[in-house]
């Protein structure tokens, strides 16, 4: 089939390369930047271009741009999509996107499935894209309620063919709530952690835990600002929940309450060990 | 020379193995547990035992037990140390230990140097000890003000000979403050992070950042309770500082203030990149 990839950054570029190298599909790509388009052609990530980003004739369209830009793209081209085409986005939040395009999909006869590849690195842009970043990764899919199971299965098979090893089906709200905790909160903590007045003096006093805590502070602030604000309800609740728990630690530590502190640490250890158990049976 | 190692857990066991394999020194060891002592002998981590843990005849004594137990050991054996012996501890907090034994060292003619090996894994006990855990690691030394530079240099050379690649000299207070931030706070955050009500549902929604954030929640709660409480002033200040910063993120996210949020994230990114620059010139 003919697969269109809109946005050839880290995720879109990697998708194009993976489809090109691992499947028989034809890849047509598009990016706002002419430099990126030429790079993608030179490196054979795409077979040809989607003229002005128009998705006509594509059997499947993968959209890998920021959330609001995804909605804008789908609405702008709502009448251009081939009837029955499968349109999938890759944005890190799903309510905004899935709800923003649902009516357009129904009215224009294309199938929309929300998706969020759980893959990424602390760098962005086509230059860092690679067909390998999806290997072993999970793809979260957020189809609409009532979606045809055969269609969703087709999307699953497609993503497995480009390297994903596991599919997770969720509602858009469930996705946004879980991602607020497992990913967005981690980025907020990392950004806040590095801002201690002591951080410039870390050298000689740091081990793995400091680097683990601060690694994802190296983020693309434009993209994450949009992701955070479009998920502000769930994310702010998670931040506030963590703040409350940290305040409880601070209190028992200041009070010197060894028994309570030890019980709190033991509880945390056990909850973390439970994560390992789940992973082991994976 | 004859080196005594008191406490054959992860750190003491690893020290004994490293000295035994990498130097010509004789290693005499001691642990409260007979099982551990026998394991250490069987695995040739030690040449012989310190009878009842008595440090007599040792030219150097490494103490690798909990902080208060370190103080208790030094005071109990204050008159047993060889005159001029070098006594070094390995505890994760330094004010309690260094101040607790200073007078005994001066009165009894042995040299005490506080030390904190920046090495460790999420497991504890002799069974996980290895002569390799110090390779490439930093050793923080907290000698007393006015200590003879030649003596401190001798300790540095010794630790380099067992695998450490870098020495950091600090006062006991400077150590405790920095460690509160770079290590203890990371453990508190990790323990608090995993306690969200959402954590049991992480599967399928997590990527590297969730695992990095929660890794060190798997801690030895008895040891860390002591470390936290004996450093409660610095640690509680760091927790409260992080809480304040997190509250600032929560506020701008709830308010939807994109410009401020983006500036905060950019600032965090730049502070984290500065850490990379320091590491690169290391």
- Judgement on whether residues B154 and B230 belong to the same structural domain of the protein: no
- Judgement on whether residues A129 and A211 belong to the same structural domain of the protein: no
Residue B276 confidence (pLDDT): 84
**Nearest chain B Cα distance for residue A134, angstroms:** 12
Q: Which chain B residues have a beta carbon less than 8 Å from that of A274?
A: 200
Q: Which chain B residues have a beta carbon less than 8 Å from that of A264?
A: 191
Q: Taking a C-beta distance cutoff of 8 angstroms, is the pair B123, B220 a contact? A: no
Helix axis angle for A67-76 and A95-108, nearest 10°, is 10
Q: Which chain A residues have a beta carbon less than 8 Å from that of B246?
A: 188-189, 192, 239, 242-243, 246
Backbone dihedral region for residue B18 (phi beyond 0: left; psi -120 to 50: alpha; all else: beta): alpha
- Judgement on whether residues A166 and A180 belong to the same structural domain of the protein: no
Residue B208 confidence (pLDDT): 86
- Judgement on whether residues B250 and B227 belong to the same structural domain of the protein: yes
Tell me how far apart the alpha carbons of residues B269 and B278 are, in angstroms, rounded to a whole number: 15
Q: Taking a C-beta distance cutoff of 8 angstroms, is the pair A141, A87 a contact? A: no
Q: Which of A170, A190, A214 is the last residue of a domain?
A: A170
- Judgement on whether residues B101 and B66 belong to the same structural domain of the protein: yes
Tell me how far apart the alpha carbons of residues A12 and A136 are, in angstroms, rounded to a whole number: 18
Average pLDDT over residues A263-278: 93
What is the residue whose two structure tokens read 């028992």? A252
Average pLDDT over residues A170-193: 97
Average pLDDT over residues A35-62: 95
- Percent of all residues in chain A with a pLDDT value above 90, rounded to a whole number: 91
The residues near B82 (Cβ < 8 Å, ≥ 6 apart) are B55, B56, B57, B58, B59, B110
Tell me how far apart the alpha carbons of residues A190 and B268 are, in angstroms, rounded to a whole number: 8
Q: Taking a C-beta distance cutoff of 8 angstroms, is the pair B28, B46 a contact? A: yes
Containing structural domain, residue B219: 175-280
CA-nearest of B255, B218, B140, B92 to A272 is B218
* Sign of the dihedral defined by the CA atoms of residues B251, B255, B259, B262, in that order: positive
pLDDT, tens digit, for every residue of A81-107? 999 999 999 999 999 999 999 999 999
Q: pLDDT confidence of A281, banded at 50, 70, 90? A: low
Tell me how far apart the alpha carbons of residues A154 and A158 are, in angstroms, rounded to a whole number: 6
pLDDT above 80 for A279:
no
Q: Which of B170, B189, B210 is the last residue of a domain?
A: B170
pLDDT above 90 for B119:
no
Q: How far is CA A2 from the centre of its chain?
A: 24
What is the residue whose two structure tokens read 């090996």? B117
Q: Which chain B residues have a beta carbon less than 8 Å from that of A192?
A: 242, 245-246, 248-249, 268
**The CATH number of the domain where B184 resides is what?**
1.10.3660.10
Which residue of A217, A228, A269 is in closest CB contact with B217? A269
Average pLDDT over residues B191-203: 94
Q: Taking a C-beta distance cutoff of 8 angstroms, is the pair B213, B193 a contact? A: yes
ipTM given for this complex: 0.93
- Judgement on whether residues B104 and B183 belong to the same structural domain of the protein: no
pLDDT above 90 for A280:
no
Helix axis angle for A221-229 and A232-255, nearest 10°, is 90
Beta strand residue intervals within chain B, DSSP E: 2-6, 26-30, 48-49, 60-63, 86-89, 111-117, 138-142, 166-169
B112: which strand partners? B87
Q: Which chain A residues have a beta carbon less than 8 Å from that of B282?
A: 203
Residue B152's CB is within 10 A of a number of other CB atoms, namely 18
pLDDT above 90 for A277:
no
- Judgement on whether residues B114 and B146 belong to the same structural domain of the protein: yes
Residue A53 in 3-state DSSP?
A: helix
Average pLDDT over residues B42-53: 94
**Chain B from 85 to 104: CB within 8 A of any A CB:** none
Residue B207 confidence (pLDDT): 77
* Sign of the dihedral defined by the CA atoms of residues A63, A68, A71, A76, in that order: negative
The residues near A43 (Cβ < 8 Å, ≥ 6 apart) are A17
Q: Taking a C-beta distance cutoff of 8 angstroms, is the pair B2, B49 a contact? A: no
- Judgement on whether residues B116 and B210 belong to the same structural domain of the protein: no
**The CATH number of the domain where B69 resides is what?**
3.40.50.720
**Chain A: residue whose CA lies nearest to B264:** A191
CA-nearest of A212, A98, A245, A149 to B183 is A212
Number of domains observed in the structure of chain A: 2
Average pLDDT over residues A176-193: 97
What is the residue whose two structure tokens read 């150097």? B60
- Judgement on whether residues B179 and B165 belong to the same structural domain of the protein: no
Tell me how far apart the alpha carbons of residues B282 and B274 are, in angstroms, rounded to a whole number: 13
Q: pLDDT confidence of A66, banded at 50, 70, 90? A: very high
Comparison of pLDDT for A119 and A143, the residue scoring more: A143
| 8 Å CB contact of A275 and B194 | yes
- Judgement on whether residues B104 and B38 belong to the same structural domain of the protein: yes
Q: pLDDT confidence of A123, banded at 50, 70, 90? A: confident
Residue B123 confidence (pLDDT): 75
Residue B273 confidence (pLDDT): 93
| Chain pair A-B, CB pairs under 8 angstroms | 291
- Judgement on whether residues A137 and A74 belong to the same structural domain of the protein: yes
> Angle at CA A20, nearest 5°, toward A14 and A21?
90
pLDDT, tens digit, for every residue of A200-256? 988 889 878 999 999 999 999 999 999 999 999 999 999 999 999 999 999 999 999
Residue B206 confidence (pLDDT): 84
Mean pLDDT estimate for chain A: 95
Q: Which of A123, A147, A170 is the last residue of a domain?
A: A170
Q: Which of A120-129, A149-158, A178-187 has the lowest mean pLDDT?
A: A120-129
Average pLDDT over residues A139-168: 95
Cβ-in-10-Å burial (0-12, 13-18, 19+) of B68 comes to middle
- Judgement on whether residues B182 and B165 belong to the same structural domain of the protein: no
Does residue A186 sit at the B interface (CB-CB below 8 Å)? yes
| 8 Å CB contact of A268 and B199 | no
| 8 Å CB contact of B188 and A249 | yes
Measured CA distances, B9 to B30, B39, B89 (Å): 10, 11, 13
**Nearest chain A Cα distance for residue B140, angstroms:** 7
CA-nearest of A240, A237, A236, A260 to A250 is A260
pLDDT above 70 for B138:
yes
Residue A143's CB is within 10 A of a number of other CB atoms, namely 22
Q: pLDDT confidence of B280, banded at 50, 70, 90? A: low
| 8 Å CB contact of B242 and A239 | no
Cβ-in-10-Å burial (0-12, 13-18, 19+) of B9 comes to buried
């Amino acid at each position: 089939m003919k697969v269109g990839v809109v946005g050839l950054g880290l995720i879109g570029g990697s998708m194009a390369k993976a489809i090109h190298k691992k499947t028989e599909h034809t890849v047509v790509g598009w990016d706002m930047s002419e430099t990126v388009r030429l790079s993608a052609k030179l490196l054979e990530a795409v077979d040809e271009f989607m003229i002005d980003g128009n998705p006509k004739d594509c059997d499947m369209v993968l959209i890998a741009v920021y959330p609001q830009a995804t909605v804008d793209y789908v609405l702008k081209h709502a009448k251009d999509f081939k009837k029955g085409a499968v349109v999938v986005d890759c944005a890190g939040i799903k309510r905004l996107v899935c709800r923003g395009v649902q009516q357009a999909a129904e009215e224009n006869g294309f199938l929309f499935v929300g998706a969020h590849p759980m893959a990424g690195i602390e760098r962005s842009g086509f230059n860092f894209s690679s067909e390998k970043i999806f290997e072993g990764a999970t793809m979260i899919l957020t189809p609409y309620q009532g979606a045809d199971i055969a269609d969703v299965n087709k999307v699953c098979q497609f993503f497995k063919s480009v390297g994903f090893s596991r599919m997770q089906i969720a509602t858009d709200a469930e996705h946004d709530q879980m991602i607020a905790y497992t990913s967005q909160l981690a980025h907020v903590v990392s950004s806040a952690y590095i801002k201690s007045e002591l951080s410039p003096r870390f050298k000689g006093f740091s081990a793995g835990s400091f680097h683990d805590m601060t690694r994802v502070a190296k983020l693309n602030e434009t993209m994450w600002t949009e992701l955070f604000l479009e998920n502000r309800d769930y994310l702010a609740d998670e931040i506030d929940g963590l703040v409350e728990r940290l305040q409880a630690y601070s209190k028992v530590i200041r009070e010197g309450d060894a028994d309570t502190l030890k019980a709190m640490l033991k509880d945390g250890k056990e909850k973390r060990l439970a994560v390992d158990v789940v992973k082991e049976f994976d």
